[in-house]
Amino acid sequence: MSRDGTHAKLAYDWYGSWTTIYNLYADAQLCFHLEGTDISPAHGSQKSLHSHSGKSGFVPHHIYQKQSIWYHYVRQKYGLPLDSRHLYTKTDWEFFSMAVASEDVRSEILESVARWVNETVTDLPFTDLHNTEGKGEFPGPNFFARPVIGGHFAFLALQRACEGRAMEGLAFLNGKPGFGDDSVASAETLSQWEAMAAKAAEKFKFDGYESERVEL
Protein backbone atom coordinates (compact mmCIF):
# COMPACT_ATOMS: atom_id res chain seq x y z
CA MET A 1 0.00 0.00 0.00
CA SER A 2 1.00 3.65 -0.41
CA ARG A 3 2.65 5.35 2.54
CA ASP A 4 -0.54 7.23 3.35
CA GLY A 5 -2.47 3.95 3.24
CA THR A 6 -5.03 5.11 0.66
CA HIS A 7 -4.31 2.76 -2.23
CA ALA A 8 -2.17 -0.03 -3.64
CA LYS A 9 1.05 0.91 -5.46
CA LEU A 10 1.89 -0.41 -8.93
CA ALA A 11 5.20 -1.77 -7.60
CA TYR A 12 6.67 -2.08 -4.13
CA ASP A 13 9.20 0.71 -4.70
CA TRP A 14 7.12 2.88 -7.04
CA TYR A 15 5.91 5.65 -4.79
CA GLY A 16 3.45 7.99 -6.43
CA SER A 17 1.84 5.18 -8.42
CA TRP A 18 -1.43 3.30 -8.07
CA THR A 19 -2.96 0.15 -9.51
CA THR A 20 -6.23 -1.75 -9.63
CA ILE A 21 -6.11 -4.93 -7.56
CA TYR A 22 -8.14 -6.97 -10.02
CA ASN A 23 -6.92 -10.19 -8.39
CA LEU A 24 -9.12 -9.41 -5.39
CA TYR A 25 -11.77 -10.92 -7.63
CA ALA A 26 -10.06 -14.30 -7.38
CA ASP A 27 -9.95 -13.94 -3.59
CA ALA A 28 -13.73 -13.61 -3.56
CA GLN A 29 -14.37 -16.15 -6.33
CA LEU A 30 -12.49 -18.78 -4.30
CA CYS A 31 -14.36 -17.80 -1.12
CA PHE A 32 -11.28 -16.69 0.83
CA HIS A 33 -13.16 -13.54 1.86
CA LEU A 34 -15.64 -15.64 3.83
CA GLU A 35 -12.99 -16.79 6.32
CA GLY A 36 -13.55 -15.34 9.77
CA THR A 37 -17.23 -14.57 9.07
CA ASP A 38 -20.44 -16.34 9.95
CA ILE A 39 -21.07 -17.14 6.29
CA SER A 40 -20.37 -20.50 4.73
CA PRO A 41 -21.46 -21.98 1.40
CA ALA A 42 -25.02 -23.26 1.70
CA HIS A 43 -24.22 -26.91 1.04
CA GLY A 44 -20.60 -26.93 2.10
CA SER A 45 -19.40 -28.14 -1.29
CA GLN A 46 -17.35 -25.07 -2.22
CA LYS A 47 -15.00 -23.91 0.47
CA SER A 48 -11.90 -21.74 0.52
CA LEU A 49 -8.79 -23.69 -0.43
CA HIS A 50 -6.88 -22.80 2.71
CA SER A 51 -8.01 -22.29 6.27
CA HIS A 52 -6.95 -18.91 7.59
CA SER A 53 -7.14 -17.86 11.21
CA GLY A 54 -7.52 -14.14 10.50
CA LYS A 55 -10.70 -12.32 11.35
CA SER A 56 -11.47 -11.09 7.87
CA GLY A 57 -10.14 -13.55 5.35
CA PHE A 58 -6.95 -14.07 3.40
CA VAL A 59 -6.98 -10.43 2.24
CA PRO A 60 -8.05 -8.04 5.03
CA HIS A 61 -11.39 -6.38 4.37
CA HIS A 62 -9.91 -2.91 4.74
CA ILE A 63 -7.92 -3.53 1.54
CA TYR A 64 -11.18 -4.13 -0.34
CA GLN A 65 -12.68 -1.02 1.24
CA LYS A 66 -9.75 1.29 0.55
CA GLN A 67 -9.44 0.14 -3.06
CA SER A 68 -13.17 0.65 -3.61
CA ILE A 69 -12.91 4.20 -2.28
CA TRP A 70 -9.83 4.82 -4.43
CA TYR A 71 -11.57 3.64 -7.62
CA HIS A 72 -14.25 6.27 -7.05
CA TYR A 73 -11.69 9.07 -7.01
CA VAL A 74 -9.52 7.96 -9.95
CA ARG A 75 -12.37 6.97 -12.28
CA GLN A 76 -12.26 8.94 -15.52
CA LYS A 77 -14.90 9.92 -18.08
CA TYR A 78 -14.96 6.53 -19.80
CA GLY A 79 -14.03 4.21 -16.97
CA LEU A 80 -11.35 3.13 -14.51
CA PRO A 81 -7.76 3.20 -15.82
CA LEU A 82 -5.72 0.06 -15.26
CA ASP A 83 -3.07 1.94 -13.30
CA SER A 84 -1.20 5.23 -13.07
CA ARG A 85 0.99 4.67 -16.13
CA HIS A 86 -1.66 5.67 -18.64
CA LEU A 87 -5.33 6.54 -19.09
CA TYR A 88 -5.98 3.27 -20.90
CA THR A 89 -8.24 0.71 -19.25
CA LYS A 90 -8.27 -3.05 -19.72
CA THR A 91 -11.99 -3.71 -19.63
CA ASP A 92 -11.74 -7.32 -18.46
CA TRP A 93 -9.67 -6.36 -15.42
CA GLU A 94 -11.83 -3.27 -14.97
CA PHE A 95 -14.88 -5.53 -14.57
CA PHE A 96 -12.97 -7.81 -12.18
CA SER A 97 -12.17 -4.76 -10.04
CA MET A 98 -15.67 -3.32 -10.05
CA ALA A 99 -17.18 -6.69 -9.12
CA VAL A 100 -15.44 -6.50 -5.73
CA ALA A 101 -16.14 -2.81 -5.10
CA SER A 102 -19.10 -1.23 -3.32
CA GLU A 103 -22.46 -1.08 -5.05
CA ASP A 104 -22.11 2.67 -5.63
CA VAL A 105 -18.63 2.41 -7.14
CA ARG A 106 -19.67 -0.56 -9.26
CA SER A 107 -22.55 1.47 -10.67
CA GLU A 108 -20.31 4.48 -11.34
CA ILE A 109 -17.79 2.46 -13.31
CA LEU A 110 -20.49 0.60 -15.23
CA GLU A 111 -22.12 3.91 -16.16
CA SER A 112 -18.75 5.16 -17.43
CA VAL A 113 -18.35 2.07 -19.61
CA ALA A 114 -21.89 2.52 -20.94
CA ARG A 115 -21.05 6.13 -21.72
CA TRP A 116 -18.02 4.98 -23.71
CA VAL A 117 -20.20 2.56 -25.70
CA ASN A 118 -22.81 5.26 -26.38
CA GLU A 119 -20.49 8.16 -27.22
CA THR A 120 -17.74 6.55 -29.29
CA VAL A 121 -18.24 5.72 -32.96
CA THR A 122 -17.03 2.34 -34.19
CA ASP A 123 -18.34 -0.60 -36.17
CA LEU A 124 -15.90 -3.01 -34.52
CA PRO A 125 -16.60 -5.56 -31.75
CA PHE A 126 -16.13 -4.56 -28.10
CA THR A 127 -12.50 -3.81 -27.29
CA ASP A 128 -10.72 -4.81 -24.10
CA LEU A 129 -8.35 -1.81 -24.26
CA HIS A 130 -9.39 1.81 -24.69
CA ASN A 131 -8.65 5.32 -23.48
CA THR A 132 -10.77 6.54 -20.57
CA GLU A 133 -10.51 10.18 -21.62
CA GLY A 134 -10.43 12.20 -24.84
CA LYS A 135 -12.26 10.44 -27.66
CA GLY A 136 -12.06 7.06 -25.93
CA GLU A 137 -9.95 5.72 -28.77
CA PHE A 138 -8.48 2.24 -28.81
CA PRO A 139 -5.71 0.50 -30.74
CA GLY A 140 -6.50 -2.01 -33.43
CA PRO A 141 -6.75 -4.57 -34.75
CA ASN A 142 -5.33 -6.56 -31.83
CA PHE A 143 -7.63 -5.60 -28.98
CA PHE A 144 -11.21 -6.42 -29.96
CA ALA A 145 -13.32 -9.58 -30.05
CA ARG A 146 -10.80 -11.39 -27.84
CA PRO A 147 -11.68 -14.18 -25.38
CA VAL A 148 -10.77 -11.94 -22.44
CA ILE A 149 -14.08 -10.16 -22.99
CA GLY A 150 -15.49 -12.97 -20.88
CA GLY A 151 -14.24 -10.92 -17.94
CA HIS A 152 -17.19 -8.60 -18.55
CA PHE A 153 -19.36 -11.27 -16.92
CA ALA A 154 -17.29 -11.20 -13.72
CA PHE A 155 -20.07 -9.85 -11.52
CA LEU A 156 -22.60 -12.38 -12.79
CA ALA A 157 -20.15 -15.23 -12.17
CA LEU A 158 -19.42 -13.96 -8.66
CA GLN A 159 -23.12 -14.01 -7.81
CA ARG A 160 -23.04 -17.81 -8.24
CA ALA A 161 -19.78 -18.40 -6.36
CA CYS A 162 -19.54 -19.91 -2.86
CA GLU A 163 -22.94 -21.55 -3.27
CA GLY A 164 -24.45 -18.18 -4.07
CA ARG A 165 -23.10 -16.42 -0.98
CA ALA A 166 -20.02 -14.67 -2.36
CA MET A 167 -21.76 -11.30 -2.70
CA GLU A 168 -23.26 -11.62 0.77
CA GLY A 169 -19.70 -11.90 2.04
CA LEU A 170 -18.89 -8.57 0.39
CA ALA A 171 -21.72 -6.73 2.15
CA PHE A 172 -19.14 -4.95 4.33
CA LEU A 173 -18.26 -2.85 1.26
CA ASN A 174 -21.70 -1.25 1.54
CA GLY A 175 -21.40 -0.64 5.29
CA LYS A 176 -23.58 -3.57 6.30
CA PRO A 177 -22.61 -5.16 9.64
CA GLY A 178 -22.67 -8.75 10.83
CA PHE A 179 -19.84 -10.42 8.93
CA GLY A 180 -16.95 -10.63 11.37
CA ASP A 181 -15.53 -8.51 14.16
CA ASP A 182 -13.47 -6.18 11.96
CA SER A 183 -15.48 -6.34 8.75
CA VAL A 184 -17.04 -2.89 8.80
CA ALA A 185 -15.08 0.30 9.35
CA SER A 186 -16.85 2.96 11.36
CA ALA A 187 -18.46 5.89 9.57
CA GLU A 188 -15.77 8.16 11.01
CA THR A 189 -12.99 5.91 9.72
CA LEU A 190 -14.55 5.68 6.27
CA SER A 191 -14.85 9.47 6.14
CA GLN A 192 -11.16 9.79 7.00
CA TRP A 193 -10.20 7.28 4.31
CA GLU A 194 -12.34 9.09 1.75
CA ALA A 195 -10.82 12.48 2.57
CA MET A 196 -7.29 11.11 2.33
CA ALA A 197 -8.05 9.29 -0.93
CA ALA A 198 -9.64 12.38 -2.48
CA LYS A 199 -6.54 14.42 -1.71
CA ALA A 200 -4.09 11.77 -2.94
CA ALA A 201 -6.06 11.15 -6.14
CA GLU A 202 -5.97 14.77 -7.30
CA LYS A 203 -2.64 14.34 -9.09
CA PHE A 204 -4.05 11.43 -11.09
CA LYS A 205 -6.99 13.25 -12.64
CA PHE A 206 -6.74 13.36 -16.42
CA ASP A 207 -3.45 15.27 -16.89
CA GLY A 208 -1.69 13.78 -13.89
CA TYR A 209 -0.68 10.51 -15.50
CA GLU A 210 2.86 9.45 -16.31
CA SER A 211 3.89 11.75 -13.45
CA GLU A 212 7.17 11.72 -11.63
CA ARG A 213 7.60 9.39 -8.68
CA VAL A 214 6.61 11.29 -5.60
CA GLU A 215 6.59 10.23 -1.99
CA LEU A 216 3.14 8.84 -1.32
User: Looking at the DSSP assignment, which residues form a beta bridge with residue 127?
Assistant: 144
pLDDT band at 116 (very low <50, low <70, confident <90, very high): very high
Distance in angstroms (rounded) separating the CA atoms of residues 90 and 152:
11
For the beta carbon of residue 173, count every other beta carbon within 10 angstroms.
23
First to last CA, the chain: 9
Instruction: Please give the sequence-ordered ranges of beta strands (E in DSSP) within 33-109, or none if there are none.
Output: 88-90
What average pLDDT score do residues 12-40 get?
Answer: 85
At 44-92, the pLDDT tens digits run: 555 544 544 445 678 889 999 999 999 999 999 999 999 999 999 999 9
Dihedral sign from CA coordinates of 182, 185, 188, 193:
positive
Q: What average pLDDT is seen over the chain?
A: 83
Q: What is the pLDDT of residue 91?
A: 95
- Higher per-residue pLDDT: 149 or 181: 149
State what percent of residues in the chain have pLDDT above 90. Answer: 54
DSSP 3-state assignment of 178? Answer: coil
pLDDT band at 38 (very low <50, low <70, confident <90, very high): low
Q: Is the pLDDT of residue 36 over 70?
A: no
Please report, for the chain, the start and end positions of each structural domain, with discontinuous segments joined by +: 24-204
Burial class for 172, CB neighbours closer than 10 Å (0-12, 13-18, 19+): buried
